[in-house]
Amino acid sequence: MTILDRLTGLANPRAALRRAIQLCDSGKPAEAFPLMAIAARAGIADAEFRVARCYLEGSGVPPSRMEGARWLRRAANHESAEAQALLAALYVAGLAPAEADGKAPGSERLFERDFSGKPDFAAALDLATKAAEAGSATGQAILGYILTSGPKPKRDADAAHHWYEKSALAGCAEGCLGLALSLARRGKREERIRIADEVRRAADAGLPTATYLLAVLTEHGLGVVRDVTAAAQLYQAAAERGLPSAQFRLGLALIEGGLVDHDPAAGEVWMRRAALAGNIEAASLLGDRYAKTQPPDYAEAATWYRRAAEAGHQAAARALASLYLTGNGVAQDVEEGARLLRASADGGNQEAQIDLANLILGGGGEPGDRASVAGWFEAAATSGDLIAAFNLGLCFAKGVGVRQDEGQAAQWLRRAAEGVPEAQYMYARLLQDGRGVAADPPRARVWFTRAASAGVLDAQVSLAEMLLNGRGGARSPETAMQLFERAADDGHAGAMFALGALYASGQGLPVDQTAAQKWFSAAAERGHGQAQLMLGRYLSNSLAGEHNLVAGRLRLERAAAHGIQEVANELPIAHDRFSPQGANK
């Protein structure tokens, strides 16, 4: 700015503004700003608005949202519709710094960093209304948005539609997009072509969101001819302009194929860009990808799950909780896992509710969690979820979150038994014992059979016992032995002990003490208390030919640790045989 420009500006602020506009148009914003500021300080609304834009955009002056908002307020107070519209937009976005007592910020706030606060829809509505009524197409679009998406008491769909139409008629891109969305909400199929036309107008004006929506319409053939190639190009255009939702969709298309050629590496790059820009679905999907690679990269998965979970993604919070509970990719932390499950469950994620409830049933979680468990399961069970019905039955059986009630437990387990093998086994046990329902061994046997056929080892053993003893139907020792052997081969300690007892007693089998000791030993290695006792007896008394007092005493002591009362009279004998004094007896 020359000295002549400055002197002319001081003498004639409007001339200063005209000269500033010329300099801006010539690409000299730094020279234009001082002249513009002279006109603004003189109270010229257009100059105040332009100064505000300079501060907001960092054009010719360091950017400052606080100074930009201050000058917008001055221009808005001087009835600048453009300033009113832009200031309303800042209030809607929560980007208008507050003023103390309605005054400009004091010197103590000059060096305060710009910040993002909460939307102020009340202030925005007042400003947008003034701008809209003054004929500002931008103000009309913003007013339509407030009346559509603002607080419920302020919403008015018909009024919003009216203002969107006026804005679109004036050629405002935001108005065109708002009108398209308003028409879509009305759900009239005959409006599809008009919706697509309005979206295209907004896209042609350069709105990335409109470009993305036009891609969606083009991909699915809604109001336009379906063209996946054109849709991919539109997604690409919106993605390159920085729209996270478009980056996510493009990344997904590249990973899965369909719209574009299959290119997982390029897809992941776009997915990362979307996630880093705040798209929580992209972050969660990246977590899933790393958790499912071969081999899994749980540490990387945890990074992306955490990003999504902290932004409120419930499924990601549940997945991250699983990593903490198992110690995969992160240090194992049951409390943090429970906290994440609780956050996801409180947000309504049914899978997280079930996971947390199962954690609580296993003794985890916090005392206050128990009250919520049965309620979560009941909501899902009532809607037909058989797994939830099974868990609700366990809650009533154990008194977790509800008063213990075996009758209620039986009802829910019976419902779950239609599709959950574990529920079939649990319900059969209630029928067998007469708990919560009348004892009914034949029906118990039927349900044990169903659960056993589904591979529930405990059910196989229970059914084998009924077949062996003829409870609930005819005896079938051969089938019982087959079931015991099948369960034993799959690692069931109780089945191993049963085989040992059968070989020892010759019940349905030839007596075979060597085979008996083998099965007692296998069960004892899995911590079976009675098997420890029997193995101790076999080793101490050479019942299968092997004599080992030291090992026998050790097994008897382990049986005693399990609370087996019969050991009390046998340990002294074992000790006497082992002691030097008893060596020659």
Q: Is 282 part of any domain?
A: no
Cα gap 135→399, rounded to integer Å: 67
pTM of structure:
0.67
pLDDT, tens digit, 9 for 90 and up, residues 522-537:
999 999 999 999 999 9
Q: Is 165 part of any domain?
A: no
Q: Is 556 part of any domain?
A: yes
Q: Tokens at residue 534, please? A: 């029997």
Could you tell me the pLDDT band of residue 583, with boundaries at 50, 70 and 90?
very low
How far the first Cα of the chain sits from its last, in Å, is 120
What count of residues does the chain have? 585
Q: How many CB atoms lie within 10 A of CB 564?
A: 17
Domain boundary among 415, 450, 481: 415
| Residue 477 shares a structural domain with residue 422 | yes
Give the CATH number for residue 438: 1.25.40.10
Q: Is 486 part of any domain?
A: yes
Please indicate whether residue 559 or residue 97 has the higher confidence score (pLDDT): 559
| Residue 389 shares a structural domain with residue 450 | no
Burial class (CB in 10 A: 0-12, 13-18, 19+), 266: middle
Q: Is 480 part of any domain?
A: yes
Q: Is 100 part of any domain?
A: no
| Residue 431 shares a structural domain with residue 371 | no
Question: What Rg do the C-alpha atoms of the chain give, in angstroms?
Answer: 38
Please indicate whether residue 510 or residue 319 has the higher confidence score (pLDDT): 319
Q: How many domains does the chain have?
A: 3
Which DSSP category does 99 fall into? -
pLDDT, tens digit, 9 for 90 and up, residues 233-284:
999 999 999 999 999 999 999 999 878 888 999 999 999 999 999 999 999 9
Cα gap 91→139, rounded to integer Å: 13
What 3-state DSSP class applies to 59?
coil
Q: Is 578 part of any domain?
A: yes
pLDDT, tens digit, 9 for 90 and up, residues 56-93:
999 999 999 999 999 999 999 999 999 999 999 999 99
CA distances from 215 to 254, 368, 396 (A): 15, 48, 52
CA distances from 435 to 235, 389, 426, 428, 432 (A): 62, 18, 11, 10, 8
Distance of CA 534 to the CA centre of its chain: 51
The whole-number average pLDDT for the span 87-100 is 84
Cα gap 338→325, rounded to integer Å: 8
CA distances from 368 to 115, 195, 308, 365, 377 (A): 37, 51, 26, 8, 16
Q: Is 463 part of any domain?
A: yes
| Residue 466 shares a structural domain with residue 403 | no
Please indicate whether residue 365 or residue 33 has the higher confidence score (pLDDT): 33
State which residues form the domain around 397.
363-415
